[in-house]
Amino acid sequence: MKVIGKPRRRVDGWAKVTGRTRFADDIVLPRMLHMKLLRSPLPHAEIEAIDVSRAEKLAGVQLVLTGKDFPVTFGIMPVSQDEYPLASDRVRFVGDPVAAVIARDEQTCTEALDLIEVKYRPLKTIATPEEALATTEPRIHEYGPHGNIHRLQAHEFGDVEEALGSSDYVFEDVFFYEGNTHLAIEQQAAVAALEDAGGLVLYSSTQNPHYLHRELARVLQMPASRIRVVATPNGGGFGGRCDPANHEMVVAKAALALGRPVKICLSREEVFYVHRGRHPVLMKFRTGVTKDGRLTGIHLQTLLDGGAYGSHGAASTFYTGVLTPTTYELPRFKFEACRTFTNKPPCGPKRGHGTPQPRFGQEVQLDKIAEKLGLDPAEMRLRIAVKPNSLTANWLRIGSAGLAECIRQVVERSGWKEKFRKLPEGRGVGLACSAYMCGAGLPIYWNKMPHSGVQLLADRSGQVTALCGATEIGQGSDDVLAAMVAEVLGIGAEDVRVLTGDTGLTPVDLGSYSSRVTVMMGNAAIQAAEALKARIAEAASEQFQVAPNRLEFANGRVFLAADASKGMAFREAIELAEAKFGTLGSVGSYRPPDPPGRYKGAGAGPSPAYSYTACVVEVEVDRATGWIAVPKIWIAHDIGRVINPVLARGQVVGSVYMGLAEALMEEQVFRRLPPKLSNALVHKFPSLLEYKSPTSLDMPEVETVFVEDPDPNCPFGAKEVGQGPLLPVPPALANAIYDAVGVRIDELPITPDKVLRALEKKAKGEEPRVGPEHFPAVPYPEPVVVPPPWEGGDGNAVKGAGPKVKVPA
Amino acid sequence: MVRRNVHIDLRVNGETQEASFAPYKTLLEVLREDLGLTGTKHGCELGECGACAVLVDGEPQLSCLVLAVECEGRSIETVEGMAKGAELHPLQAAFADLGAAQCGYCTPGILMTAKALLEREPSPTRDRIREAISGNLCRCTGYQQIYEAVEEAARRMKESA
């Protein structure tokens, strides 16, 4: 291969290093106005009255919008379209927007916001999932099974109690993973304007222009064909721009009402309120094992703190369990999950979407199991690593699976055998593994259309243009698109112009989420490029009087495979094709294979392929201060095939960084204001200074290894790399701390105070552990019972259809 | 409220430009909104993230914390001034080649910070690079490829000197 696998400067690299990349807030249009949102200072209240008359009269103010201007709800998931662009009768968290001011500049907007008077009637605030379970009234939303429960679900694949009963050991552990946020450095911005004859264009830092397009049409009650969404390059995504956002809806409405361009850029504080980040999850794992460390069954229960709205929560809830069986051989699996509403900014998808939490629990528990059984944790995992070309207990189809090789690589490179349980007191190593999906097998709204489409244009200038709805969020999707097309056509990646993320110009791609872009856009791109190549080959082959398949495309030439001296420039071949066929173009599209599971709930978890990762973290723990230093991390990732090693390595190291950040310090947490100040539940530190994230001084050296186990469902065999490598980092760190000082910290983040507390307990002879003590009673429903593939099922449920979920109108 | 603009000359990337703006505006705002230099980014406007770093008289400064009126007569450098014509500054080339820019949003601030470092110390150790950019948050790269790019740029600059 000429392009795939070779280190290259990314196709959008020049723009990024010269400051020319146009992010949303860099867009300035003639006659543009500015907008700001008034947000609720109370976590839960009824809105009794809003008076905007003084704001409207301020010089420079053009328009004030409130909830009455937005009768229609929206939401990313069809089952929870529970958000209003501006709240009209109820606010549900500090930061819920209630009004918008559009004025000549931001300063005037800010002044006008102060003139809006909102009369609130405070309601009881629900701060935690436990409170949500205990509070039936008031309900934060009028939908969901009951009380303040948003989602409840239960699935059982084989009789897990029987499996646990006949196991040599059963381990029961409770873990907690704190919520945290994406913290992309770019603050979300959007510019809306009218295009010709009343059509709307919205430029926005969105990861998912297609879903935003649909929701805009819904909220604005306009035909989608009159709306164009342009996803500007995102200044970091990480899942934070997957949901359609209030400000996008409101700025669009304002531009339509005023006939002028309107821009909004959120402040950093607002970005913390928009959130949609990692769900805080409490988990209980009951795991049966044999003496030699084989898993017999897992009963996993999860409880999610969803925040104030549905967001992606229906999917997030599934993801706290459904990928658990994809890493190790697991004969039986029971999974119960519950998502609650609380009066906090809504949680949603963040890098790894729902799976880092159970991955943390499972990998720490495996470490405890290995310890108890006297097994080396790496050896034990090698023995139980999932096999390629297999089905899991919950009917997910595994293709290529390079996990065993990943484990061998990190064991070898880290000097694991010389270090594990052998380093001096205070130093330690920990190992963990993971698997992740390469794109969701099903779209967010049910349909049979492609998940990704690519269109190619070529003309006599020799220029090839690739159009796709995929969104460049920094991960390098534009570069992947160019590389796929270039490889097939035998030209350089830099010879392909890419135009992406524009619903007015590019074929639909569902968006940059669930690690789906390389696989889905890549397959569509190859199909389109092969179609174009066939035409060019047919025309060029006439020149040499050979069959088209005797031609080769490489190095910008089209030539006889048997005699490279007989050939022509790629541009000349295009001329011949344009003369023979007329204007040249081609399309390709991709839809994932139908999943084998057919039970209700089988839609979450299937993927065209799964990536695998293994990680070793080394730590030094200061016993006096509890301070945790990480000198080095080794990580091996089964990527299927590397497309551009420069970018792929960047995704791995970036994932390690984010995993380590969640493990050591990041937390989106809340506190109650003192009663004299309203007692409101507020974000503890909605600022970049106090929300601690690692700086360059905190980041260890990372040694990255790629295991290339090409997957037949993937373009050139390439699997995902943007999310999976985050998953093993937090548990590997926790396991390393145990190796270093013999204490278990069963909750994230692992901060020095928790280490000290555990060390004190150890010194007193108590269980040297800090973590949640118990798992509350959750009213899980009767499970949907599905026999695993090896117990004679056909992928259908044999009992239970799951809870009915009422959908809001 | 009556607001009167101030009217001053600013020297940006070697060019002197007249600028007229509200006196409370930060250098960041004037660069982006009044001079059209949107290469300089913002992530907090509170001095926490480093995305808005520019050079003022050769020193990295957070432009969100500097009032533009204070910059009269001083030399301001932004990312737009790094390349010579179409030729990238060695730092820019190394950042593009080695994956130091992923989303590219923190990149201008880090480039300016690194430029100031290399002008003072042509061959910094990795620890010095880590220290120099510790005020610039990057969420994508995990910083490793940024260190490598600064080291590579230092090498290339020494070779061509």
ipTM, 2 dp: 0.98
The predicted pLDDT at position A809 comes to 38
Q: Are A193 and A504 in contact (CB under 8 A)?
A: no
Q: Which amino acid is at A104?
A: R
Q: pLDDT for A378-432, tens place per residue?
A: 999 999 999 999 999 999 999 999 999 999 999 999 999 999 999 999 999 999 9
Residues A219 and A288 in one domain: no
Q: Are A518 and A477 in contact (CB under 8 A)?
A: yes
Percent of chain A with pLDDT over 90: 97
Give the CATH number, domain containing residue A56: 3.90.1170.50
Q: Which of A185, A476, A657 sits opposite B51 (nearest CB)?
A: A185
Q: Hey, how many other C-beta atoms are within 10 angstroms of the C-beta on A202?
A: 25
CA distances from A471 to A287, A512, A645, B6 (A): 40, 6, 20, 41
Q: Which of A19, A656, A696 sits opposite B130 (nearest CB)?
A: A696
Report how many domains make up chain A.
Answer: 3
Residue A489 has pLDDT above 50, yes or no: yes
Nearest to A501 by CA among A474, A527, A519: A474
Identify the residue whose tokens are 């490179």. A413
Residues A226 and A345 in one domain: no
**Residues A230-234, mean pLDDT to the nearest whole number:** 98
Which residue range forms the structural domain that includes residue B145? 90-160
Compare all CA atoms of chain A with the CA of B139 and give the residue at the minimum distance: A184
The predicted pLDDT at position A393 comes to 98
The predicted pLDDT at position B2 comes to 57
One digit per residue, the tens of pLDDT, for chain B of length 161 reads 557 999 999 999 999 999 999 999 999 999 999 999 999 999 999 999 999 999 999 999 999 999 999 999 999 999 999 999 989 999 999 999 999 999 999 999 999 999 999 999 999 999 999 999 999 999 999 999 999 999 999 999 999 88
Contacts of A717 (CB under 8 A, 6+ apart): A400, A640, A641, A708, A709, A710, A711
CA distances from A415 to A612, A629, A742 (A): 21, 19, 20
B92 in reach of chain A (CB within 8 A): yes
Q: pLDDT for A321-346, tens place per residue?
A: 999 999 999 999 999 999 999 999 99
The predicted pLDDT at position A801 comes to 62
Q: Which of B78, B139, B143 sits opposite A696 (nearest CB)?
A: B143
Residue A21 lies in a domain: no
Do the chains contact at B96 and A646, CB–CB below 8 Å? no
Residue B1 lies in a domain: no
Residues A503 and A631 in one domain: no
Residues B107 and B138 in one domain: yes
B101 in reach of chain A (CB within 8 A): yes
Residues A652 and A743 in one domain: yes
Task: Find which of B102, B111, B113, B115 to mutate to test the A interface (most A CBs within 10 Å of its CB).
Answer: B102
Q: Are A441 and A468 in contact (CB under 8 A)?
A: no
The predicted pLDDT at position A675 comes to 85
Nearest to B64 by CA among B80, B82, B81, B48: B48
Residues B76 and B13 in one domain: yes
Contacts of A165 (CB under 8 A, 6+ apart): none
**Residues A76-87, mean pLDDT to the nearest whole number:** 96
Q: Are strands A769-770 and A744-745 parallel, antiparallel or unpaired?
A: parallel
Please report which confidence band the pLDDT of residue A805 belongs to, taking 50, 70 and 90 as the band edges.
very low
Residue A707 has pLDDT above 50, yes or no: yes
- Judging contacts by C-beta atoms under 8 Å, the chain A residues touching residue B80 are 18-19
Residues B26 and B74 in one domain: yes
Contacts of B125 (CB under 8 A, 6+ apart): none
C-alpha A226 chain-centroid distance: 29
Q: Residue B129: what are its φ and ψ, rounded to 5°?
A: -65, -45
CA distances from A257 to A107, A368, A736, B53 (A): 21, 61, 58, 38
Q: Give the CA-trace dihedral at A289, A294, A296, A300, to 10 degrees.
A: 70
Q: Residue B92: what are its φ and ψ, rounded to 5°?
A: -65, -45
What is the rounded CA–CA span in Å between residue A306 and residue A436? 22
Residues B64 and B129 in one domain: no
Q: pLDDT for A202-225, tens place per residue?
A: 999 999 999 999 999 999 999 999
What is the rounded CA–CA span in Å between residue A609 and residue A520? 11
Q: Indicate the SS3 state at residue A652.
A: helix
Question: Would you say the C-alpha torsion A504, A505, A509, A514 has a positive or negative sign?
Answer: negative
The predicted pLDDT at position A680 comes to 86
Q: What angle do CA A518, A485, A214 make, to 5 degrees?
A: 50
Contacts of A556 (CB under 8 A, 6+ apart): A490, A491, A492, A495, A569, A570
Q: pLDDT for A153-180, tens place per residue?
A: 999 999 999 999 999 999 999 999 999 9
CA distances from B25 to A464, B45, B133 (A): 45, 12, 26
Residue B111 lies in a domain: yes
- Judging contacts by C-beta atoms under 8 Å, the chain A residues touching residue B54 are none
**Residues A296-311, mean pLDDT to the nearest whole number:** 98
Residue A508 has pLDDT above 90, yes or no: yes
Residue A780 lies in a domain: no
Q: Which amino acid is at A314?
A: A
Nearest to A356 by CA among A58, A1, A659, A140: A659
- Judging contacts by C-beta atoms under 8 Å, the chain B residues touching residue A647 are 99, 102
Residue B110 lies in a domain: yes
Which residue range forms the structural domain that includes residue A305? 152-180+277-441+600-770
Specify the DSSP class assigned to residue A74.
B
Give the CATH number, domain containing residue A575: 3.30.365.10
Tokens of A310: 């549905």
Domain boundary among B81, B116, B141: B81
Task: Find which of A185, A653, A657, A721 to mutate to test the B interface (most B CBs within 10 Å of its CB).
Answer: A185
Residues A328 and A424 in one domain: yes
Residues B64 and B114 in one domain: no
Residues A427 and A293 in one domain: yes
Residues A746 and A673 in one domain: yes
**Residues A361-379, mean pLDDT to the nearest whole number:** 98
Do the chains contact at A17 and B40, CB–CB below 8 Å? no
Q: Are A704 and A655 in contact (CB under 8 A)?
A: no
Residues A605 and A495 in one domain: no
Residue B58 lies in a domain: yes
Report how many domains make up chain B.
Answer: 2
Q: Indicate the SS3 state at residue A229.
A: strand
Do the chains contact at B143 and A183, CB–CB below 8 Å? no
Residues B97 and B118 in one domain: yes
Residues A484 and A616 in one domain: no
Residues B65 and B129 in one domain: no
Domain boundary among B26, B54, B81: B81
Contacts of A107 (CB under 8 A, 6+ apart): B22
Looking at CA atoms only, how far is residue A748 from chain B in angstroms?
19
Residues A746 and A615 in one domain: yes
For residue A288, the cross-strand partners are: A170, A297
Residues A211 and A167 in one domain: no
Domain boundary among B81, B114, B148: B81
Give the CATH number, domain containing residue B50: 3.10.20.30
Q: Which amino acid is at A89?
A: D
Residues B73 and B100 in one domain: no
Residue A794 lies in a domain: no
Compare all CA atoms of chain B with the CA of A14 and give the residue at the minimum distance: B96
Residue A160 lies in a domain: yes
Residue A336 lies in a domain: yes
Residue A335 lies in a domain: yes
Residues A706 and A645 in one domain: yes
Residue B27 lies in a domain: yes
Q: pLDDT for A82-135, tens place per residue?
A: 999 999 999 999 999 999 999 999 999 999 999 999 999 999 999 999 999 999
Please report which confidence band the pLDDT of residue A196 belongs to, taking 50, 70 and 90 as the band edges.
confident
Residue A198 has pLDDT above 90, yes or no: no
B28 in reach of chain A (CB within 8 A): no
Residue A501 lies in a domain: yes
- Judging contacts by C-beta atoms under 8 Å, the chain A residues touching residue B88 are 14, 17-18
Specify the DSSP class assigned to residue B32.
I
The whole-chain average pLDDT of chain A stands at 97
Residue A259 lies in a domain: yes
B42 in reach of chain A (CB within 8 A): yes
Q: Hey, how many other C-beta atoms are within 10 angstroms of the C-beta on A572?
A: 16
Do the chains contact at B92 and A26, CB–CB below 8 Å? no
Compare all CA atoms of chain B with the CA of A475 and give the residue at the minimum distance: B102
Q: Are A479 and A12 in contact (CB under 8 A)?
A: yes
Residue B69 lies in a domain: yes
B78 in reach of chain A (CB within 8 A): yes
What is the rounded CA–CA span in Å between residue A350 and residue A608? 21
Residue A678 has pLDDT above 90, yes or no: no
**Residues A656-681, mean pLDDT to the nearest whole number:** 93
Name the more confident of A196 and B156. B156
The predicted pLDDT at position B60 comes to 98
